[in-house]
Structure 1
Amino acid sequence: MHRSFCSQLKTYFIQTKCCSLGAVSNMSSAQPKGVEMVVEPVSCLHDEPVSIRVHGLNPGQDVTLQASMKDSKGINFLSYAHYRADSSGQVDVSKLESLGGHYKGIFPMGLIGSLVPAPNEYKYTRFFKRDVENPNIVKMTVHKGHLSDEALCSPVVGEPLATLTHLRHYMSPGVQRIPVRFGKVRGCLFLPPDLYIIAGNGPFPGVIDMFGSAGGLLEYRSAQLASRGFASLALAFFAYDDLPKHLEEFNIAYFEEAVEFLLKQEKVLKPSVGTIGTSKGGDLALSLATFIPEVKAAVWINGCNANVQSYLHLQDRTIPPLDIDVSRVKLVDDVLDCYEVLENPEDHPETIIPIEKADAHFLFLVGLGDKNWKSESFADQAIERLRKANCNNYEIHRYMSTGHIIEPPYSPFCFATYHKLIKTSMLMGGSQKPHLEAQVHAWDSTLIFLHKHLSVPRVKL
């Protein structure tokens, strides 16, 4: 599904410098001149992989590759890995194993995917991108020897052998970002470039994009969806602008108005739209597909099959929230483990969303290492409900050792994060490498699913 982005962007200047280094190395011979670090493409969409290579080293030389990137608040994220140059004096991270650092083994996108808060930052900080019109700037360096994070952050580490700057974009050239204030609806609309229409690929499938119980507005997934040919409305539903500040109750009319807005757009394909939701956004995605006829495809990411945390008012009734038992919260290494907090939906059938009544298709993306709540159990209950109704309108992908926060590809892995709603850090779960690999598969599956169920089949002449 990944397409090269390099041809659509202007060429960016890469500065590579070679210099002697005071850091300790296992090589006794003199350092050759002309050490160069190469990342291809130098500028790309954030969901695209890159190749990372180093040339001009001594055969068998030990080096440390480091990457750094700041989020929208200026918080610095770092990663590093230890490599040993091959017999020709090269390091190709797609072929050589990392011997240590933030990951081990062959992991081509490990330097970017394993970015974590720098030692001087709060360790449970989740990487957030809010200024999606500007790329993430990744600075990469090569150092002599196998260095620790303390040594790399030391002011006496010395000059690196080579440096470069790599740019990762959320918006492809021509994507439009349009802030939305339509009736009560608040959010931001992202439209694919006009060149897609010129090429005969428009109008575009429409998608409503929602996240979880932290509230506010997150735009980065919608920006990436627009870069892949979708008209995506990043929808806020509380704690944003003039919306309610707390997660207490919702009315389906708000989401109906959002669907109405999206379908009013000239560039949006009629007559239906899709939705994608993570965590609390997952049960909202199920509700939109069940109670709003125009919603024909729903992507559920580590959500619940019941309505959680707030009342949902429909036209003729109200679905109460699934109960929460706070006595089940555990404290693990100063982080809250809320895995057992939600009650079993089957014990509270009045909270379950009757998705078997939906005229829509469902994609369930499940992290089997989710420690935020029991996503696998919730997905299984949802699917069993569809099976009992003789519905086969669903797909499910289960990902081993994958945590709660399944993002688009190459987003830094987040094992635990500070949560605004409860004002402390919560366990999200998962293991770094399998989680990052799952994100690639989940994203491609999402794009394929949405295109399949929202695009109008073209007639072959």
Structure 2
Amino acid sequence: MKPLPQRLPILALSVLLLAACAEVKATPAPPPAAWWSGWTYDGAYAVEADQPVALVDTPVSIRVTGLQSDQPVVVRARMALGTRTLESFAAFTADSDGVVALGELQPVYGTYATADAMGLFWSMQPVETEATGAAASPLGPLTVTLTAEADGQVLAAQTLQRLFYDEARVAREEINTETWVGTLFTPASPGPHPAVLCLGGSGGDRAEGFAALLASRGYVTLALPLFGVDPLPAELVEVPLEHFQGALDWLTAQPDVDPGRLAVLGGSKGAEAALLLAAGYPDDLRAVVAYKPSSVVWMGLPRNPADNFAGPKSSWTRDGQPLPFVSGALTLDLLKVMAGRPASLVSSYEGGLKDAEAVAAAAIPVEAIRGAVLLISGGDDQLFPSAQMGEMVMARLAEHAFALPYEHLTYPDAGHNLFAPYLPTTLANSGVTRLGGTPEADALANADAWPKVLAFLEEALRARP
């Protein structure tokens, strides 16, 4: 079926980006009062963590000690995030030694259901919103308070600091040029270092989380927004790819950077841009990491819906000319989103992919890339069909006998909410636009994919003799 008139899909995509807002979900019920019957709590209890201060992508081993055999306890995690407070809990009965090791025991009640050392971290849900509170820095240390409780009584507590980067080991600097702006992260250790250009997504972010974590592991990183900040275009419409090439040239010239060891990383629209950049400027990049990738250039996403009445436009330009693009189709789910009702957009994108002529014209020429390629996608991505498009990229590389390593990590039950591990995954489907997956599936995918991303970059950017 050929896509219906395409101005409406563009209009809807603009509206949903403005309309999506998260709602506070009810926290699972705590253990019943009868669960505590017959027990007294007068011992010396402790909450132990093997790494009280660690990067956010580092797993932590947590134990509660001092309990009696089979004695019940609730372990609760609480964290402030901007103007919100998030919380999770898990109820256990102690082992024969009076110990609760979170990585070994399955919760009887709680916000997650299986034995998982980091379940308290990814299953956090909003419980309070401070309307007048000041939003914290997105990369500021996350303070997580762990408490061991019995029927509301706090038995012991431990405070953890979760970092995106350590200011003593990584320097962060705002960079402003005539054609682009970004954030530079530089390791304090002696260089030259490999470098990664990190591209943000359709929300206008800079992908600083990825950049900070990679800098913490020895990479010089430059985090860029795709649009929305002067001197970049105000909206994600006909953005010149030369902006990103200019940033890459600037990064290559930095004294702490090894110019022969560069990579680009992006997610969603940032992944689309990353693949285009690597294909368009192949001599500069030895690796590409594309979270939630696209195989084609898609329509732009203007902020003002009225702008769409003139017809859809491309997301990108090169040499002053818009790149051919594919538009989404008009679907029932798209109409629901336009009306403010929760729905998925994947059917609209899938409809666009049925336009074979447009897809052929807008296909990203990934065979031109001269570096290793890693794709990461969720099989239940409900924003757009990233797993399908990842397979389209893989097929094109195989068709052209691509000689360098390429791999597609697909997580069948995960959605669009793929990022660094051990961060809350509970809000992906709480707004108007559904992202798919489940909190547990997204968390498992993030925990599995991130070490593979780090290993991939280490191998691809290894110093050559």
User: Structure 2-normalised TM-score?
Assistant: 0.82
Instruction: Map 1:2-17; keep pairs closer than 5 Å.
Output: none
Instruction: Map 1:190-201; keep pairs closer than 5 Å.
Output: 190-194=185-189, 197=190
- Kindly provide the CA deviation profile for residues 59-110 of structure 1, in whole angstroms up to 9, marking residues without a partner as x: 2122211111122x22111111111112222211122111121111211110
Cα deviation, residue 346, structure 1: 4.0
Specify the SS of the correspondent of 2:433.
strand
Query: Structure 2 CA distance, aligned partners of 1:56 and 1:240?
Result: 54
Q: Is the 8 A contact 1:57 1:85 kept in 2?
A: yes
Q: Name the stretch that deviates more: 111-120 or 50-59.
A: 111-120
Match of 1:262 among 247, 251, 269: 251
Specify the SS of the correspondent of 1:370.
coil
Match of 1:278 in 2: 267
Query: Structure 1 CA distance, aligned partners of 2:395 and 2:35?
Result: 59
Aligned: 1:115 with 2:124: yes
Specify the SS of the correspondent of 1:176.
strand
Instruction: Pick closer, same or farther for the CA change 1:27–1:290 going to 2, 3 Å.
Output: same
Specify the SS of the correspondent of 1:160.
strand
Higher relative contact order (CA 8 A, sep 6+): 2
Query: Structure 2 CA distance, aligned partners of 1:296 and 1:191?
Result: 20
Query: Structure 1 CA distance, aligned partners of 2:162 and 2:398?
Result: 42
Match of 2:150 in 1: 144
Cα deviation, residue 334, structure 1: 4.1
Query: Structure 2 CA distance, aligned partners of 1:265 and 1:116?
Result: 41
- Kindly provide the CA deviation profile for residues 342-374 of structure 1, in whole angstroms up to 9, marking residues without a partner as x: 210744111111111222221111211211111
Aligned: 1:399 with 2:411: yes
Instruction: Pick closer, same or farther for the CA change 1:417–1:262 going to 2, 3 Å.
Output: farther
Match of 2:229 in 1: 240
Specify the SS of the correspondent of 2:67.
coil
Aligned: 1:105 with 2:97: no
Aligned AA for 1:447? L
Match of 1:4 in 2: none
- Identical aligned pairs, as a percentage? 27
Match of 1:8 in 2: none
Query: Structure 2 CA distance, aligned partners of 1:179 and 1:377?
Result: 37
Match of 1:225 in 2: 214
Cα deviation, residue 236, structure 1: 1.2
Match of 2:159 in 1: 165
- Kindly provide the CA deviation profile for residues 384-441 of structure 1, in whole angstroms up to 9, marking residues without a partner as x: 11111111431111113111121112121145267xxxxx631111122232122122
Instruction: Pick closer, same or farther for the CA change 1:241–1:141 going to 2, 3 Å.
Output: farther
Match of 1:373 in 2: 384
Match of 2:290 in 1: 300
Aligned: 1:183 with 2:178: yes
| Count of aligned pairs between the two proteins | 406
- Kindly provide the CA deviation profile for residues 118-139 of structure 1, in whole angstroms up to 9, marking residues without a partner as x: 26699xxxxx98442x310001
Cα deviation, residue 259, structure 1: 0.6
Instruction: Pick closer, same or farther for the CA change 1:121–1:98 going to 2, 3 Å.
Output: farther
Query: Structure 2 CA distance, aligned partners of 1:90 and 1:434?
Result: 28
Structure ranking higher in helix proportion:
2
What is the aligned-residue RMSD (CA, Å)? 2.3
Specify the SS of the correspondent of 2:92.
strand
Match of 1:426 in 2: 433
Query: Structure 1 CA distance, aligned partners of 2:397 and 2:141?
Result: 42
Query: Structure 2 CA distance, aligned partners of 1:416 and 1:441?
Result: 19
Cα deviation, residue 309, structure 1: 2.9
Cα deviation, residue 244, structure 1: 2.2
Match of 2:95 in 1: 86
Specify the SS of the correspondent of 1:335.
coil
Instruction: Pick closer, same or farther for the CA change 1:438–1:29 going to 2, 3 Å.
Output: closer
Aligned AA for 2:146? M
Aligned: 1:207 with 2:196: yes
Specify the SS of the correspondent of 2:215.
helix
Cα deviation, residue 217, structure 1: 2.7
Q: Is the 8 A contact 1:130 1:219 kept in 2?
A: no
Match of 1:416 among 421, 428, 445: 428
Match of 1:125 in 2: none
Aligned AA for 2:286? K
Match of 1:153 in 2: none
